[in-house]
């Protein structure tokens, strides 16, 4: 049944959200990776709490006199068709397993993407008119991703070799990335279900080291993994241009607080910074809530892995088209003609 809806696509029609998820689910099940989607860590309570808190905020429509909304926006000087970008991505065990099964001749259908899946994802984002973000990848891979044409935000890992970090920052600038940054929440120990199998190379950076990294680049620096006003203020004082409120997909600590709750606090603490958010965003209405609480854009990670598993570059493009449509429709009904006009007033019962 799931496979049937996937196979009904070869005529070239765009895939809708349920079709994308069903096609991804069937292929992921085929390679025995179903239990690796949306893992979180330990109990997974933070992802359930995050979802529940996101769902608990409802939206106030203001329809009379409203006009169709445009979702276009700008981030780090790049014009985007919508305020939804890729979260930092590197190797995906799920997509690796699908590629390995295809190479071994055991996949029941052709591999959904050509070549490197990160390039397929970056290509789909370029087609959709939005930005890619990269994580723990080599300089060579970064160059190939940049070549795909989407604006790229490169989030460097806190590798124990500071020269490696500085080389990555420099290379990102040479390649024309629009921003760089570091995920501060992957430094203390192996995450319970990390997608990256080499955490021993990572370490916790001192404030002096962070300051050195920020000073080493002329690009806006994004501090990713902020969940409190205290960290946001330190990030600002160190010279970061942006903070990303993130649970790292729930992989850092069990019982981490919900991202929209933290976003409200962080936005209040550093109103002068660009504030981004990721973790658990699944539909257009989720994104509206983050924009209402002050985010300039929202990152998606898991959804891009699923869209790529479903139909490679075209799957990513179709996913972004669905999200843009959902976001635009929701904004129109909320009386928000553009991204800039979304504020806390769209949230019912907002403090």
Ligand X SMILES: Cc1cc2nc3c(=O)[nH]c(=O)nc-3n(C[C@H](O)[C@H](O)[C@H](O)COP(=O)(O)O)c2cc1C
- Residues annotated as catalytic (active site), given as ranges: 248
- Segment contacting ligand X (CB under 6 A): 85-93, 140-148, 165-173, 265-273? 85-93
Q: How many angstroms separate the CA atoms of 12 and 206, rounded?
A: 51
**Which secondary-structure segment (H or E) carries 332?**
helix 302-333
192 sits near ligand X (criterion: CB under 6 A): no
Nearest approach in angstroms of CB 156 to ligand X is: 9
The angle subtended at Cα 139 by Cα 135 and Cα 145, nearest 5°, is: 65
71 sits near ligand X (criterion: CB under 6 A): no
224 sits near ligand X (criterion: CB under 6 A): yes
Q: How many angstroms separate the CA atoms of 222 and 137, rounded?
A: 17
Nearest approach in angstroms of CB 280 to ligand X is: 5
Nearest approach in angstroms of CB 320 to ligand X is: 14
Binder to ligand X among 195, 286, 324, 326 (CB under 6 A)? 195
194 sits near ligand X (criterion: CB under 6 A): no
Binder to ligand X among 57, 88, 180, 316 (CB under 6 A)? 88
> Is the Cα dihedral 163, 164, 167, 168 positive or negative?
negative
The residue among 299 and 335 lying less far from ligand X, judged by its C-beta, is 299
By CB under 6 A, what part of segment 293-322 binds ligand X?
300-302, 305
258 sits near ligand X (criterion: CB under 6 A): no
Binder to ligand X among 46, 71, 73, 279 (CB under 6 A)? 279
87 sits near ligand X (criterion: CB under 6 A): yes
Q: At what angle do helices 259-269 and 229-238 cross, to 10 degrees?
A: 50
Q: How many angstroms separate the CA atoms of 244 and 224, rounded?
A: 4
Half-sphere exposure of 76 (CA within 13 A, CB side): 28
Nearest approach in angstroms of CB 248 to ligand X is: 5
Contact yes or no for 303/280 (Cβ under 8 A): no
284 sits near ligand X (criterion: CB under 6 A): no
Nearest approach in angstroms of CB 222 to ligand X is: 10
Q: Is 326 helix (H, G, I), strand (E, B) or coil?
A: helix
Q: Which residue is nearest to ligand X (CB)?
A: 135
10 Å Cβ neighbour count for 244?
33
Binder to ligand X among 135, 220, 312, 315 (CB under 6 A)? 135
Q: How many angstroms separate the CA atoms of 39 and 201, rounded?
A: 22
By CB under 6 A, what part of segment 158-187 binds ligand X?
183
Binder to ligand X among 2, 78, 90, 166 (CB under 6 A)? 90
Binder to ligand X among 89, 273, 288, 295 (CB under 6 A)? 89
Neighbouring residues of 255: CB distance < 8 A, sequence distance ≥ 6: 43, 45, 46, 49
- Segment contacting ligand X (CB under 6 A): 52-60, 200-208, 213-221, 243-251? 243-251
Nearest approach in angstroms of CB 251 to ligand X is: 7
Q: How many angstroms separate the CA atoms of 160 and 90, rounded?
A: 18
Binder to ligand X among 249, 294, 312, 328 (CB under 6 A)? 249
Neighbouring residues of 247: CB distance < 8 A, sequence distance ≥ 6: 46, 47, 50, 227, 256, 259, 279, 280
- Segment contacting ligand X (CB under 6 A): 72-80, 89-97, 146-154, 230-238? 89-97
Neighbouring residues of 297: CB distance < 8 A, sequence distance ≥ 6: 73, 75, 80, 83, 84, 85, 131, 276
**Nearest-CA neighbor of 74 among 131, 12, 142?**
131
Nearest approach in angstroms of CB 47 to ligand X is: 8
Interface ranges with ligand X (CB under 6 A): 87-90, 92, 135-136, 155, 183, 195, 224, 246, 248-249, 278-281, 300-302, 305
């Amino acid at each position: 049944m799931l496979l049937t809806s996937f196979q009904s696509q070869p005529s070239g029609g765009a895939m809708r959200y349920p079709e994308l998820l069903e096609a991804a689910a069937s292929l992921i099940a085929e390679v025995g990776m179903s239990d690796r989607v949306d893992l979180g860590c330990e109990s997974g309570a933070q992802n359930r709490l995050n979802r529940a808190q996101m769902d608990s905020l409802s939206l106030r429509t203001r329809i009379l006199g409203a006009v169709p909304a445009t979702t276009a926006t700008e981030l780090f000087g790049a014009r985007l068709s919508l305020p939804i970008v890729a979260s930092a991505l590197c190797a995906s065990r799920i997509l690796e397993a699908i590629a390995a099964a295809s190479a071994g001749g055991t996949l029941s259908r052709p591999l959904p993407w050509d070549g490197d899946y990160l390039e397929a994802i970056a290509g789909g984002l370029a087609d959709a008119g939005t930005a890619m973000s990269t994580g723990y990848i080599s300089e060579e891979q970064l160059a190939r991703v940049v070549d795909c044409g989407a604006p790229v935000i490169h989030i460097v890992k806190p590798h124990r070799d500071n020269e490696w970090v500085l080389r990555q920052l420099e290379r990102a600038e040479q390649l024309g990335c629009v921003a760089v940054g570091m995920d501060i929440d992957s430094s203390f120990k192996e995450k319970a279900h990390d997608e990256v199998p080499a955490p021993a190379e990572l370490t916790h950076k001192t404030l002096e080291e962070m300051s050195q990294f920020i000073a080493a680049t002329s690009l806006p620096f994004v501090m990713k993994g902020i969940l409190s006003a205290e960290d946001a203020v330190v990030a600002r004082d160190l010279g970061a241009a942006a903070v990303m409120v993130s649970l790292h997909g729930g992989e850092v600590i069990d019982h981490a607080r919900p991202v929209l709750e933290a976003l409200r606090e962080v936005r209040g603490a550093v109103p002068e910074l660009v504030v981004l958010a990721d973790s658990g965003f699944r539909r257009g209405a989720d994104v509206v809530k983050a924009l209402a609480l002050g985010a300039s854009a929202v990152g998606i990670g898991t959804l891009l892995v699923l869209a790529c598993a479903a139909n490679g570059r075209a799957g990513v493009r179709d996913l972004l088209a669905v999200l843009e449509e959902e976001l635009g429709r929701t904004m129109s009904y909320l009386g928000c003609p553009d991204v800039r006009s979304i504020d806390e007033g769209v949230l019912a019962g907002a403090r």
